[in-house]
Every structure is written in structure tokens, then in C-alpha cells.
């Protein structure tokens, strides 16, 4: 029998003998390992508390994150160990028992657990001084945080807020109890289990081929424009919500919807942003703005968008008026840059 024939004959046997090895290798990939580790911490209170003692903890004061300057104009969240936080709490007059209120955010690629803790009952200035950091409002922090830090801080704040406003059962009015990880709250009277929730929001960048449409609400800082967005109504599909929001806010009927991406957004109370592009015919691009919804909406050329993208931070109070856009961590920023890149590609083909 030839060597190739023998090899073919033995292949099923090798597969059978080493199947366990292949599955083990696949299951132990870093991502799978991390996901299973997090899931175990959510299900096992003892394991979660042990991970807390060896993990990193981000501090908040009444939902405002503690940041530290890393480079000029750039900040990072202050990540402290268990004993460090214990020392900070004791110096601020707490006995350290507050540490058990820490909430699991996730874990690093090396499976080190990440937690967040709100110390809003303690003196803010004393905590900031002890940690050599600054408490910065999250909307401002989004322009200062780099890399993957912004989503982590946003998730942490959203979890902390959810726990603060869900301390009682909606069915019985009785207090709810959280598990160690903070991944759920339960009511012992009704046996109802509550999980953190996000509200679905559609956000869309509308284009007429040569221009894109941006709007602003009266609550926005001066000069800030963004893609149109609105909450999905009960029973609506993503497409139905998009059609309705654009029609309501600017009086346009869109077509050619293309999904882009999604994002958790902590404002106003933990939103799930579903981002899309859509088009309208240039012949039917006349705006009819509902000023109860928007303060202003207008079409922007590629040149105007390029100028706005060059504004890297919110203008200061005495700066001349200028149009600026959401921070790079926002999915609205991604939609705008995707549109501009599409314009550039189309021009290169001509």
C-alpha cells in the first residue's frame, strides 16, 4: 500500500484521536476564554469577589468619572487596585465596606477583571487629590479620552446609573437585591429578575448625493451639529423608525437605507445607537424643519464637513462661531467620516 493511501486511510482515525485537542485549542482562544471568564464572574458571587480583590477599579463621583492627564490634551481613567481604593476610602472617612458595591464592567485581554465604583457620598475634592486625578463630566471626557477608554467609561457610568434607579421592584415596590457582579437585580417577593437595559435609537446620515444633512437640538452646545437621531417606538422596525424620524424632523422621505454600525451611548439614559446611511433625490431635498424637534438643520458640502472635522475640541466661549462635530468615539462621527470617504472615492473614479 502506498504512503498516500495509508495516510488517507488513517486520516479519520487521526481526526477521532485528536478531536479533543482541536476543540480545546479553539475553546481556549483569548476571546473565548475572556467571555467565559466574564460569564463565570456574573454567575458566581464568590469568584467575582475574588476577582474584585485582584482587579482594577474605576472611580466615579455621582456618575462623573475620575480621569488623569496622560499626555497634553489627553486623559485616561484612573484604574486602582483593591487595596489602593481601600486606602482612598479610609482617608475620606469610609470604612472600606463600600468596595463591595463595585460593579463588574468586563476584563482585560489577560483576564484581569475591571470594576467601577461610585463614591458620591464622599468628598469629591479629597478623593481627586488622593488619586491625583480630576472628576470630568462624561460629555466633556469624550473629547479627552483616547483609544478604547471612552466605551469602557461609558459602559461603567451606564451600569452605575442603572443600579441607582432600579433599587425597587416595579411590580411589588419592594427593594431589589443585586448579585456581586451587578449584572442583575432581583426581587425576593416576586422572583422577578431585572437586567440592565438599553433604549434603541436610530441615527441616520442623509445625503442627496453631493451634500449630507446635519441638525442640532437647542440643548446642544453652540455650533455642534450631528446626524439625525430618534428613539424607536414600540413595535417599530429599524427602517420604520428611520423613515418616521426623518419625516418628522425635516420633512423628507428617504430611500436606499444602508446599515453602518451600532454603539452603546450613555446619553440620556443608556441608548443603543443603530447607525445608517440614507439618501434622498436632489429634486426632493427641500427641508421643512420641525422646530419643536430641532433648532436647526442644514445641508453640508464635503468641503464644509472637512473643515468641521478639523475642529478637534469644542470651541471656547470667546472663540469665533464655528461648526463642529461629535467626538471621534461617537457613531455619528463615524457616519460623517464614512460619507466623506465615499465622496472622495466617487471623485477618484471620475
Return the pLDDT at 28: 53
Same domain? 145 vs 205: no
CB contact at 8 A, 312 and 142? no
Which of 121, 139, 164 terminates a domain? The answer is 164
Which of 164, 188, 209 terminates a domain? The answer is 164
Domain count, the chain: 2
Residue 185 in any domain: the answer is no
Residue 2: all three cell numbers together: 502506498
CA nearest neighbour of 103 among 165, 56, 149, 66: 56
Domain that holds residue 110: 48-164
Same domain? 225 vs 327: yes
Same domain? 159 vs 204: no
Helix (H) or strand (E) holding 229: strand 228-231
Same domain? 339 vs 218: yes
pTM, two decimal places: 0.86
Same domain? 226 vs 269: yes
Q: CA angle, corner 65, sides to 202 and 227, nearest 5?
A: 20
Contacts 24+ apart (CB under 8 A), 39-46: 41/104, 41/107, 41/113, 41/181, 42/104, 42/179, 42/181, 42/183, 42/184, 45/179, 45/180, 45/181, 46/180
Average model confidence (pLDDT) across the chain: 90
CA nearest neighbour of 311 among 330, 328, 324: 324
Residue 298 is part of a domain; what is its CATH number?
3.90.79.10
CB contact at 8 A, 47 and 19? no
Profile the chain (350 residues) by mean pLDDT over runs of 10 residues. Answer: 46 41 52 94 97 97 94 86 95 89 94 96 94 94 86 96 96 96 96 96 97 96 96 97 98 96 93 97 96 97 96 83 92 97 87
Residue 133 is part of a domain; what is its CATH number?
3.90.79
Amino acid at each position: 500500500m502506498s504512503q498516500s493511501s495509508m495516510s488517507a486511510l488513517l486520516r479519520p482515525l487521526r481526526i477521532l484521536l485528536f478531536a479533543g485537542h482541536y476543540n480545546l485549542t479553539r475553546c481556549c482562544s483569548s476571546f473565548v476564554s475572556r467571555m467565559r471568564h466574564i460569564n463565570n464572574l456574573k454567575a458566581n458571587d464568590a469568584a467575582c469577589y475574588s476577582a474584585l480583590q485582584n482587579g482594577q477599579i474605576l472611580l466615579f463621583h455621582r456618575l462623573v468619572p475620575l480621569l488623569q492627564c496622560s499626555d497634553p490634551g489627553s486623559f485616561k481613567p484612573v484604574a486602582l487596585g483593591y487595596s489602593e481604593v481601600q486606602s482612598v476610602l479610609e482617608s475620606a472617612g469610609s470604612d472600606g465596606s463600600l468596595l463591595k458595591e463595585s460593579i463588574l464592567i468586563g476584563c482585560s485581554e489577560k483576564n484581569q477583571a475591571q470594576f467601577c465604583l461610585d463614591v458620591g457620598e464622599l468628598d469629591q475634592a479629597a478623593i481627586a487629590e488622593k488619586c491625583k486625578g480630576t472628576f470630568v463630566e462624561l460629555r466633556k471626557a469624550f473629547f479627552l479620552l483616547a483609544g478604547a477608554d471612552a466605551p469602557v467609561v461609558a459602559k461603567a457610568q451606564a451600569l452605575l446609573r442603572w443600579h441607582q434607579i432600579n433599587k425597587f421592584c416595579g411590580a411589588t415596590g419592594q427593594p431589589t437585591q443585586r448579585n456581586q457582579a451587578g449584572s442583575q437585580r432581583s426581587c425576593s417577593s416576586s422572583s422577578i429578575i431585572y437586567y440592565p437595559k438599553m433604549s434603541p435609537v436610530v441615527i441616520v446620515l442623509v445625503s442627496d448625493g453631493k451634500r449630507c444633512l446635519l441638525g442640532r437640538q437647542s440643548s446642544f452646545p453652540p455650533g455642534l451639529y450631528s446626524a439625525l437621531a430618534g428613539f424607536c417606538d414600540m413595535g417599530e422596525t429599524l427602517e420604520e423608525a428611520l423613515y418616521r424620524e426623518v419625516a418628522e424632523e425635516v420633512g423628507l422621505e428617504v430611500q436606499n437605507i444602508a446599515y453602518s454600525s451600532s454603539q452603546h451611548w450613555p446619553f440620556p439614559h443608556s441608548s443603543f445607537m443603530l447607525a445608517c446611511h440614507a439618501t434622498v433625490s436632489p429634486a426632493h431635498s427641500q427641508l421643512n424643519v420641525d422646530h419643536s424637534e430641532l433648532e436647526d438643520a442644514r445641508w453640508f458640502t464635503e468641503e464644509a464637513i472637512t473643515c468641521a472635522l478639523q475642529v478637534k475640541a469644542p470651541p471656547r466661549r470667546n472663540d469665533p462661531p464655528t461648526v463642529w462635530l461629535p467626538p471621534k468615539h461617537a457613531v455619528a462621527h463615524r457616519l460623517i467620516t464614512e460619507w466623506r470617504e465615499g465622496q472622495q472615492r466617487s471623485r477618484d473614479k471620475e
